Amino acid sequence: GIQVEQSPPDLILQEGANSTLRCNFSDSVNNLQWFHQNPWGQLINLFYIPSGTKQNGRLSATTVATERYSLLYISSSQTTDSGVYFCAVENLRYSGGGADGLTFGKGTHLIIQP
Amino acid sequence: NAGVTQTPKFQVLKTGQSMTLQCAQDMNHNSMYWYRQDPGMGLRLIYYSASEGTTDKGEVPNGYNVSRLNKREFSLRLESAAPSQTSVYFCASSEPRVPLGPQHFGDGTRLSIL
């Protein structure tokens, strides 16, 4: 199946810093989503971004599908940004044509220190 | 709006016991999913249901069964629990389209098998 690699695995920053999280995938994708898992374990969908660039407040994401990577940017980090960030993809070549679920990377563990 | 609701939130079982994890969504989504998350790992797909009346195996289906009771509810059953099934279980739903729409997750069930 498709492989998803995220980097860095761990990141510790001071409040106010900017960060870039990367997601590489081994084959073309039809669907890419970024999630934030907060310290309480809840998973929040941040972006649905199979290609192009999107922004939501201090967060933005870019997917370059032809080069098989996506980037998540966090600006002016706050302590509430701490948690694990997951990239997840779908490749229709490996699925039955839809609704077959996502393949997740192992995540980037982000700690924002006050 | 409750979104995706999972019950119970925590459960401890003894090896060999059975139990059913419940999931319900109120977003009128056709597609529903069960994932498991182990320490330091991303989520892995156990089973999914593209629509009411259909279910299919994901990446790690062994030891589990599912039932799509109706459009709202999708349950996961462990017939004979094993310590290797100690994990956090997440249910998700998404819009019925190809490729998948944004996935929305419940808060998870933390399951320990002794």
pLDDT at A96 over 80: no
Residue of B nearest to A87 (CA): B42
* Cα B62 to Cα B58: distance, rounded to the nearest angstrom: 10
- Per the listing, tokens 């192009």 go with A52
β-strands B87-94, B74-78 pairing = unpaired
CA distance B6 to chain A (A): 12
Look at the alpha carbons of B83, B88, B93, B99 in this order and tell me if their dihedral is positive or negative.
negative
The pLDDT, as a whole number, for residue A48 is 92
Establish if A86 touches chain B: CB-CB under 8 angstroms: yes
The pLDDT, as a whole number, for residue B51 is 85
- Per the listing, tokens 């098989």 go with A68
Q: Could you read off the pLDDT of A41-94 as tens digits, one per residue?
A: 999 999 999 899 999 999 999 999 999 999 999 999 999 999 999 999 987 655
* Partners of residue B35 in chain A, C-beta under 8 Å: 101, 104
Q: Could you read off the pLDDT of B3-16 as tens digits, one per residue?
A: 999 999 999 999 99
Percent of all residues in chain A with a pLDDT value above 70, rounded to a whole number: 92
The pLDDT, as a whole number, for residue B96 is 64
Which of A45, A101, A106 has the CB atom closest to B42's CB atom? A106
Q: Which amino acid is at B113?
A: I
Residues of chain B with pLDDT under 50: none
CA distance A91 to chain B (A): 9
The pLDDT, as a whole number, for residue A97 is 45
* Cα A21 to Cα A60: distance, rounded to the nearest angstrom: 11
* Cα B44 to Cα B47: distance, rounded to the nearest angstrom: 9
Asked if B100 and A88 come within 8 Å (Cβ–Cβ), the reply is no
User: Strand, coil or helix: what is A12?
Assistant: strand
Establish if B26 touches chain A: CB-CB under 8 angstroms: no
